[in-house]
Amino acid sequence: MSRGKDGEKAKMFRRDPHPVVFPPVKDPRFTDPSFPSRSCCCPGRPVVKVIMPPTADRAHPVDLWLCGHHYRASLPALLTAGANVEDLTTPTDGPPLDHAAAPVPAPKAPSLS
């Protein structure tokens, strides 16, 4: 082992005298067993719970837990299907933001003038 200026042995992996203490997690997305730890679509955490309505081929509604990227990518199809969306990122002490997927306004066509 190498020696420092003072002649004492250098410790490469010594313990930190002030360890980091993390506060307890109170967010239900991390502690509630009814919230999955990963999305249906990828390994990411879900940010929305989408409830797909019954169809002629499926007699019951289906829950989809989607990450933000896949939710935004599939929003046109969700709007067409009439899906309901529950935002999982809102605080639990605030008003619930459950809502039906709202139509996105169509982009304006460029003017040819």
- Give the tens place of pLDDT for each residue, 26-42: 666 666 667 788 888 89
Q: Which residue has the higher pLDDT, 20 or 75?
A: 75
> 49-83 pLDDT, tens per residue?
999 999 999 999 999 999 999 999 999 999 999 99
Whole-model pTM: value is 0.55
Instruction: Please classify residue 71 by burial: count the beta carbons closer than 10 Å to its beta carbon, then call 0-12 exposed, 13-18 middle and 19+ buried.
Output: buried
**Which residue ranges make up each domain of the chain?**
35-100
Coil/strand/helix, residue 86: strand
Any bridge partners for residue 62, and if so which? 52
User: Is residue 104's pLDDT more than 50?
Assistant: no
Residue 24 predicted with pLDDT over 80: no
Pair of tokens at residue 55: 């169809």
